[in-house]
Amino acid sequence: MRTLSLAALITAATLSATSLSAIAKNTAAGIVANQVGFNSQSPKVAVVPNVASNDFTLTDKATGRIVYNGKLSAPKSWSEAKETVRLADFSSVQYPGEYTLSVDGIAQPFAVTIDENVYQEALSGAIKYYYFNRNSAALQKEHAGIYHRPASHPDTTVYVDASAATPERPVGTVLSLPKGWFDAGDFSKYIVNSSITVHTLLRALDNHPALFAKLNLNIPESNNNIPDLLDEILWNLDWMVSMQDTDGGLYHKLTAKRFEPVAMPHTQYKPRFVVQKTTAATLDYAATLALASRVIAQYEEQFPGRAEQYRAAALKAWDWAEENPNVLFEQPEGFRTGMYRLDGDDYKDEWAWARAELFVLTGKRKFLKGYEVANTARTPEWSDVETLGMLALANHAKTPSSLKQQILDTLKKSADTWVKQAHSSGYGVAMFGRDFRWGSNGVAANKALALIDINKLVPNPQYLETAQALVDYILGRNPNGLSYLTGFGENTPMHPHHRVSEVDGIQAPIPGMLAGGPHKGYQDKKECNVKYNVDYDPSIPSKAYFDHWCSYATNEVAINWNAALVYVLAELN
């Protein structure tokens, strides 16, 4: 798809000089909405500057005929954008087509697509991102097109660091741990983040087997009578299984000692190590392998014995965690790569997630011993996983009824809170306060995921409306006027913090990557200011985003954020 720079979009959306007096200050620069489009039956809303006019029109591009006359909402502010805007709701328009949304006083109309399968290409792109991030494989031109590259990081020679050494595998032991995906903008691989990623993708596959059976991604395994999504999941799952030590514990990560230079991966291979086994990595793995066992059992003919292998691996991990209940990751001396840890973490959410998935897998009540329903169902992310356990138990027929009711009450309470957030926002999106943290777009996608799942348990149309609005936010209904999914939309990130995309000599980044998103943490100030002599304003949370390689705090990509987007696009498709 065609992409424009943010500056070009703002220029294109500039208000006509004769209309400036009719428009309030501190409002949107132009009409913003989902740039990929809308499903026929879905809610359809655009954000409009705070103009004097109260009317908008939707025109059929093919015929020039006005198909809808609508009224703008009353002006409403959104503190996270420091803007006052109005909403144009055209949800009643359901006929597929290409339309133009126009508002008096705004020079540039907005192009609207309505289609039954409007997210199909974006869904495929968001999944194929994982293929482009494959470790240990050459990406052939027939599958990768212009993004083909030689094999890199074979990981057939990986050293056991002192932090992970045991009598059976002493320091310097060489292990073969190939496959997996590069985690984010760097070339490392982390069990904590891989776990929630694979878990989310497995759930998507389990929910929609017919959809994914038909989805051809043009990867090497395509046309093997196995869903391409499962083939891609297995590329990473094979690596995860190899990261389990003989005693059942999971190495926290596989990494070089430093983040590798900004260069193509096949030119920058450094010695790689496995480091320290941790409780978080082991519990996350146990939960994910428990689900993997249940899902792969549906493909027993193609993968004989694999379900039992995963079951045994999950149980072995659980046993290790029971013996090592509070091993927090500590960065080994000499290492400076990602940590995936929280200071002061009590692991309550990891324990709850593993207990839930192992109970669903085995039916054994012992796994519910000590299970506590959290007071709040937080948005799922690598550091907050209790909601995933609650959803597993709420959907399981054999969960004790009293426990299930407690869970449903908690899930509903959180969903109702998110609906209230959306209603209080001028943009109509449930993003507030702490939501604008590192990976805020992942927060938006995972909040949509939770709302969609909660709606299946305690149906409420407002839950789906709020989920749709969050997807719209990611794909363009935001103060930056960006579709944050590379390659999908009129204005998408061109310079994500992703090593391959930065140095491959191709103008467009690899498509299908969800940029981390705005937040005012400004962790990359030194990198941008000192090294590149560029800057961005972090003062307004929803606008604190910089489409530049230097801005790893807002513009990096990561496998877990993409997984949540895959999940919600599959649901909405």
Q: Which residue(s) pair with 84 in the sheet?
A: 77
| Nearby residues of 452 by Cβ (< 8 Å), 6 or more positions away | 463, 464, 467, 568, 571, 572
Catalytic residue of the set 497, 498, 519, 548: 497
Kindly tell me the burial class for residue 207, based on how many C-beta atoms sit within 10 Å of its own C-beta (0-12, 13-18, 19 or more): middle
b/e code 63-92 from CB counts within 10 Å (16+ = b)? eeeeebebebbebbbbebbebbbbbbbbee
Catalytic residue of the set 453, 547, 548, 571: 547
Alpha carbons 36 and 122: distance in angstroms, whole number: 8
The identity of residue 309, as a single letter, is Q
Q: What are the tokens at 67?
A: 């198909």
Kindly tell me the burial class for residue 438, based on how many C-beta atoms sit within 10 Å of its own C-beta (0-12, 13-18, 19 or more): middle
**3-state DSSP assignment of residue 323:** helix
H-helix or E-strand spanning residue 350: helix 348-362
Whether 186 is a known active-site residue: answer: yes
Alpha carbons 463 and 312: distance in angstroms, whole number: 37
Alpha carbons 105 and 530: distance in angstroms, whole number: 42
Catalytic residue of the set 357, 435, 556, 571: 556
Nearest of 183, 136, 248 to residue 382 by alpha carbon = 183
Alpha carbons 415 and 450: distance in angstroms, whole number: 8
Catalytic residue of the set 186, 260, 381, 453: 186
Q: What are the tokens at 48?
A: 């409009």
Whether 547 is a known active-site residue: answer: yes
Whether 535 is a known active-site residue: answer: no
- Tell me how far CA of residue 84 lies from CA of 288, 422, 428, in angstroms: 43, 15, 12
Whether 284 is a known active-site residue: answer: no
Q: Which residue(s) pair with 178 in the sheet?
A: none
422 backbone φψ class: left, alpha, beta (φ>0; ψ -120 to 50): alpha
| Nearby residues of 87 by Cβ (< 8 Å), 6 or more positions away | 45, 46, 47, 48, 72, 73, 76, 426, 428
CA atoms lying within 13 Å on the CB side of residue 86: 20
Q: Are strands 272-277 and 158-160 parallel, antiparallel or unpaired?
A: parallel
- Tell me how far CA of residue 32 lies from CA of 12, 85, 322, in angstroms: 12, 11, 51
Nearest of 162, 34, 37, 19 to residue 103 by alpha carbon = 19
How many other CB atoms sit within 10 Å of the CB of residue 96?
Answer: 14
Catalytic center residues? 186, 497, 547, 556
